[in-house]
Amino acid sequence: MPRKKKKEQITIKSSESKILFGTVLFVAGIVVMVSPFLLTQSNLFKTISQFFGYSAIPWGISLLYGSLFLLFKSRKFISSRQFVGIFLFSICISTLLSFWQQPEQLANPEALSSSGGEVGKFLHISLNGVFGSAIEIFIILIFLILAFSLITGTTLEQIRDFVEDSIPEPGQNKSKKSSWLLSVLNKFIGTKEGDDIKIQTENEALDDNQTEPYIESSPIETERKLEEILHRDDYLHTSHNVAPNVKVSEGEPNEDEPQAPKYTDWIFPNIDILQEKEVQKQDEKLYKEKALVIQRTLMNFGIQSRVVAIAVGPTVLRFSLSISTGIKVSKVKNLSNDLALALASQTASIRIEAPIPGTSFIGVEIPNPTPNFVYTKDMIKKLRQETDKYELPLILGKDITGKTTIKDLGKIPHLLVAGATGTGKSVAINSLLAGLLMTKTPDEVKFIMVDPKMGVEMGMYNGIPHLLTPVITDVTLVTNALEWVSGEMMRRYTQLKQTHTKKLSEYNAKMGFAAMPYIVVVIDEMADLMLRTGMEVETKIQTLAQMGRAVGIHLILATQKPTVDVITGLIKSNIPGRMAFAVATLMDSRVILDEGGAETLLGNGDMLYKDQTTPKSLRIQGTFTSTEDTENIVNAVKSQVKEEIEYSSGLTNAIENGPDEITGGSHTQRDPDFSKALEIVILTQRASASFLQRKMKIGFNKAARIIDELYEAGAIGPDEGSKPRKVLVHSASEILGGEDTDDFE
């Protein structure tokens, strides 16, 4: 015969008593809240009104909210934090209503009913008697702000940042406008800092000691003609006294001069367009049960242990395990499969971190049965509170303790993203790009995106002003694009040398605006690129990875095939930043991270991150950026551009025609100073980049480009090492044809 369930004994702590007291408190709250409006109908309402005044409304709400703690077992929609906030708010309202009353009115019961009542009178007289009126109102305002923080969940830091952002900094807009006006004035005045800097090269001394050139005219006549060429009116466009932003030739801007910002009134997209996060309640009782399972399992194998802490991450639980002295750590690590069996892990194995960095504990990591994923809105909200800390912020996600993890690509300085198919690589790249688009203007950062999947992943970014060229989908054209980036890198080094700066941030600070934007090269699938082009692309990536950091050129490379023929040793040695998502084997994990661990990840954004600043890999739950979030961000960026996007003509031509055809060959693509250089070479019978650099007062890159054009045109011979190039023509008309040229025979 089944045993009857024993009835609960009714005590002061029983559920029946709690419901009874809660109901009484609920009714009392309603009575107190409506008393100011019904004081003429009952002596009870009149008494309550005299005691509380109009502050009876918040006091009644406090009683109603407090009754919920007794009426309901679940705490989903109530919290003690909010109750304290409502209580503080009631005190502040009572005091504030009495603060505005005249001293003689405080003795009138009817006046008290229309103000803060006896409670407000007592609080006001107590504070005013100790601090005075000025300090009293200040204290009330402070407690009101604190009550608002407790009720709404808004932190005091967020309130401070809101107030700080609402107050414009004195002279902020003025400084931006003055720097812009200064660049405009320089355009007309014709002055520029660093005009008198002369570029020196290692080869200059060698070229000065060349053999005596063959000159058909006398030295005096040669010098006279050379002066005529250098001071000819049409040469003034390329002299060293050129004003900023003056065009070298019609339709072609001077690349050696910094351009003024174009998007001065840029507005970053609002975070309200992003998806709200979904939160699941955590079961602490279940976690403690699993901790006991771990201890009992290790005890069965003769290991005395104790779980000292449980870190609840977004998708992973980490149990900090303390073991007895004398037990090898490897013995615990070898029991990972046994622990997975005892814990009924959702995956085939669990990850054991021995030890946890900075502690003397062993970490046992298992999947969280109630995961809370990391959403972009939450990360962007955190990032915008500390944007000034980062040059190029990358929102990675939250670590195993729930701490927000944001890294700076400018310090990493290159990033490798790898993992098996469907583990979250493309979502991670969209998250990284979202963080940059939400915090950086098109004047501050530019992108070159490569998507071999015919633009399926990155095609939506076409049309944003941050792009230097439309998303590249043809793998065979990537080599040309990387070649152009290498040339841009050397051009930037020349500009840094001329301004005596060591890195891009110093150069922009010296100019007063973002004169040189960061360039981020994003390659979504590197395996296809390496298999088709191989060593050629690897060499270019290696060059950019070694030298690109100082001039603001950074790489983000992604692949779903983490093998040694894709992620080669040369690439790994120059890319310290690694994001490893779930992989199939231990070997793949070692290729990415140089250590195991990625083979035990859960997928869906679960990753291990490592760079030169982290001694061991960090387990992070990556940021989830949905397709809708990405589209909303891109559309918000595009909506600010009213005119057609101007892509980089140099990069577009390099992609279509290749770098060789840009600098060599045809007459229509020659440098505007080609004819002047040709006349100088024929007159002096000397042809070298450093010689033209000194005589024409131009940069070394431009001089070298003109030498290449002269060689392609057949005016000079090939480079023969230490020997000078031979001049093969005696008249400019042999190269320029029927154009009007001077004959120096």
At 68-103, the pLDDT tens digits run: 887 876 666 677 888 888 888 888 888 888 887 777
Q: Is there a contact between 618 and 608 (Cβ–Cβ < 8 Å)?
A: yes
Q: Do 510 and 603 reside in the same domain of the chain?
A: yes
Residues 6+ apart with CB under 8 A from 420: 560, 581, 582, 583, 584, 588
Q: Do 40 and 149 reside in the same domain of the chain?
A: yes
**What confidence score (pLDDT) does residue 392 get?**
93
Q: Do 495 and 627 reside in the same domain of the chain?
A: yes
N residues, the chain: 745
DSSP lists the bridge partners of residue 319 as 310, 364
User: Using 50, 70 and 90 to split pLDDT, how confident is the model at 1?
Assistant: very low
**What confidence score (pLDDT) does residue 218 get?**
52
**What confidence score (pLDDT) does residue 230 get?**
67
Q: Do 715 and 577 reside in the same domain of the chain?
A: no
38-52, 182-196, 590-604, 624-638: which has the minimum mean pLDDT? 182-196
Q: Do 438 and 379 reside in the same domain of the chain?
A: yes
- Give the residue numbers of the binding site: 419-426
**What confidence score (pLDDT) does residue 446 get?**
94
Indicate if the alpha-carbon torsion angle 536, 542, 547, 553 is positive or negative.
Answer: positive
Q: Do 358 and 395 reside in the same domain of the chain?
A: no
Q: Do 100 and 78 reside in the same domain of the chain?
A: yes
71-80, 332-341, 513-522, 591-600: which has the minimum mean pLDDT? 71-80
Q: What CATH number does residue 619 fall under? A: 3.40.50.300
Residue 424 forms part of a structural domain = yes
Q: Do 405 and 548 reside in the same domain of the chain?
A: yes
Task: Please tell me which residue, 657 or 418, carries the higher pLDDT value.
Answer: 418
As a whole number of angstroms, the distance between CA 342 and CA 365 comes to: 14
Name the average pLDDT for the chain: 79
DSSP lists the bridge partners of residue 556 as 415, 522
Please check the confidence at residue 235 and state whether its pLDDT lies above 90: no
Please check the confidence at residue 628 and state whether its pLDDT lies above 90: yes
Q: Do 129 and 223 reside in the same domain of the chain?
A: no
Structure tokens given for 55: 């502050």
Residue 664 forms part of a structural domain = no
Residue 261 forms part of a structural domain = no
**What confidence score (pLDDT) does residue 442 get?**
92
**What confidence score (pLDDT) does residue 7 get?**
53
User: Using 50, 70 and 90 to split pLDDT, how confident is the model at 610?
Assistant: very high
Residue 100 forms part of a structural domain = yes
As a whole number of angstroms, the distance between CA 174 and CA 290 comes to: 61
Task: Please tell me which residue, 572 or 198, carries the higher pLDDT value.
Answer: 572
- Give the residue numbers of the binding site for ATP: 419-426
As a whole number of angstroms, the distance between CA 493 and CA 121 comes to: 73
Among the three residues 367, 392, 410, which one is the final residue of a domain in this structure? Answer: 367
Residue 196 forms part of a structural domain = no
Most confident of 153-167, 187-201, 347-361, 673-687: 673-687
Per-residue pLDDT averaged across 586-600, rounded? Answer: 90
Instruction: Name the residue range of residue 697's domain.
Output: 202-252+672-736
Q: Is there a contact between 90 and 51 (Cβ–Cβ < 8 Å)?
A: no
Structure tokens given for 488: 């841009």
Q: Do 724 and 599 reside in the same domain of the chain?
A: no
pLDDT in tens, 372-417: 899 999 999 999 988 888 999 999 999 988 899 999 999 999 999 9
| CA-closest candidate to residue 264, choices 381, 178, 169 | 178
As a whole number of angstroms, the distance between CA 531 and CA 537 comes to: 10
Domains identified in the chain, total number: 4
| CA-closest candidate to residue 277, choices 187, 376, 403 | 376
Q: Do 362 and 379 reside in the same domain of the chain?
A: no
Residue 266 forms part of a structural domain = no
Residue 646 forms part of a structural domain = no
User: Using 50, 70 and 90 to split pLDDT, how confident is the model at 177?
Assistant: very low
**What confidence score (pLDDT) does residue 659 get?**
56
Q: Do 557 and 487 reside in the same domain of the chain?
A: yes
Residue 654 forms part of a structural domain = no
Most confident of 241-255, 342-356, 615-629: 615-629
Among the three residues 316, 347, 367, which one is the final residue of a domain in this structure? Answer: 367
CA 675 from centroid of its chain's CA atoms: 47
Per-residue pLDDT averaged across 470-479, rounded? Answer: 88
Structure tokens given for 248: 């070298």
Structure tokens given for 150: 């407790």
Task: Please tell me which residue, 248 or 296, carries the higher pLDDT value.
Answer: 296
Place of tokens 């040398």: 497
CA 482 from centroid of its chain's CA atoms: 23
DSSP lists the bridge partners of residue 323 as 305
Q: What CATH number does residue 241 fall under? A: 1.10.10.10
